[in-house]
Amino acid sequence: MTVNFQNLITIDEEEFSKLFNCQCENNNLKINIRGYSIPFKGTQQNNRNLMVFLRRNLLKYVFPEQQRPEDIDWALARDKFGNISPATDGKLGEMLLYVFVEAILKAPLMAYKLKDLQNPNDQVKGADGVFIGEYRGQRALFIGESKIHKDIKEAISDAFESLQRFHDKKSPYDTELNIAKNYPAQRNLSEEEIKEILQIFDEEMDYVLVHPIFISYDFEEISKISLKALSQEEAEQRLKETILEEIKVWQSNIENQKKYYPKPFQVYLDFFFLPSENSLKLRNDFYCMLHNVDYQEEQKRQEKKINKKVNDILKKKTNEENDNELI
């Protein structure tokens, strides 16, 4: 393989390692499970540094190199995320999937779906991320899935349901690969490298299929640790011990999906778990970073604006009716 995929990675590994602590890794044949956490600040977790990092990488996530605006124009990327409720928007999970796949699996993003979304308030259709690279010494195509849920069981079940739908399609790869074909020429690649990547997308080369799966969910133990811990070191140690027990829950829930969604188990599955103190707050923090305002406050502002507009129309109509009566 002539393509150096490392040269296409846009996530800084050193920055990543400061934002996420790797608490555990379990490799069982074709299923790999990794558990991460957000570092404590004192005895509390704080999403601020993560949001700063995501803001700094928005342009890299949304645009390939040859179409990427200058950093000063980051709002061009922000606008692609739309303006909808954080409770229903899946774009944070998709961006975090990109962050973990590039930083850990060293597989660069190859389908910039968000850039070409006609309506930013729509959700991205199909796979949550398409990447290429190497996996366990073999050429690999990565079709990713991401879920941020309140409940861990629902998050895992929904992820497998989505992957099963992908495999149940008549030609599951066609749509994703046809989209991905548009982008190698927009990366900093030579003609030879572009040709080689397109051969993978055209299925002219052998490769293994990998499903990287990012999952974040509410983990109430984090709040309990914050209440009990007397120092950052104690908080981190308590969380590590707790996550080492929590991995059994992940394994059990993954194993339970086989009887309902068997096809994803035929390929490689690589999980990234990020337990969160409050998954909705994580989403809200992302919205606030993008729009510089809390979602609920923005909704109130929009409602006030609409009400004023309606009142102005009614007032104008009333004045016109009064004028007609005078005539």
Render 191-222 in DSSP notation, one character per residue. HHHHHHHHHHHTT-S--EEEEEEEEEEE-THH
Q: Which residues share a beta bridge with 21?
A: 37
Is the confidence at residue 314, as pLDDT, over 70?
no
d(CA 97, CA 78): 18
Residue 241 in contact with residue 187, Cβ under 8 Å? Answer: no
For the residues 235-245, what does the mean pLDDT come to? 97
Is the confidence at residue 304, as pLDDT, over 70?
no
For the residues 207-212, what does the mean pLDDT come to? 94
Is the confidence at residue 151, as pLDDT, over 70?
yes
Name the most confidently modeled range: 57-66, 183-192, 220-229. Answer: 220-229
Give the chain's length. Answer: 327
Q: Which residues share a beta bridge with 274?
A: 216
pLDDT of residue 297: 56
Is the confidence at residue 94, as pLDDT, over 60?
yes
Name the most confidently modeled range: 51-55, 179-183, 293-297. Answer: 51-55
Is the confidence at residue 23, as pLDDT, over 80?
yes
Is the confidence at residue 327, as pLDDT, over 70?
no
d(CA 71, CA 3): 27
How would you class 216 by CB atoms within 10 Å of its CB: exposed for 0-12, middle for 13-18, buried for 19 or more? buried
d(CA 11, CA 14): 9
Q: Identify the residue with better confidence: 232 or 192.
A: 232
For the residues 2-10, what does the mean pLDDT come to? 88
Query: Residue 106 region, left (φ>0) first, then alpha (ψ -120 to 50), else beta?
Result: left
Is the confidence at residue 9, as pLDDT, over 60?
yes
Place of tokens 């809200």: 284
Q: Kindly state the DSSP code that residue 109 receives in the 8-state scheme.
A: B
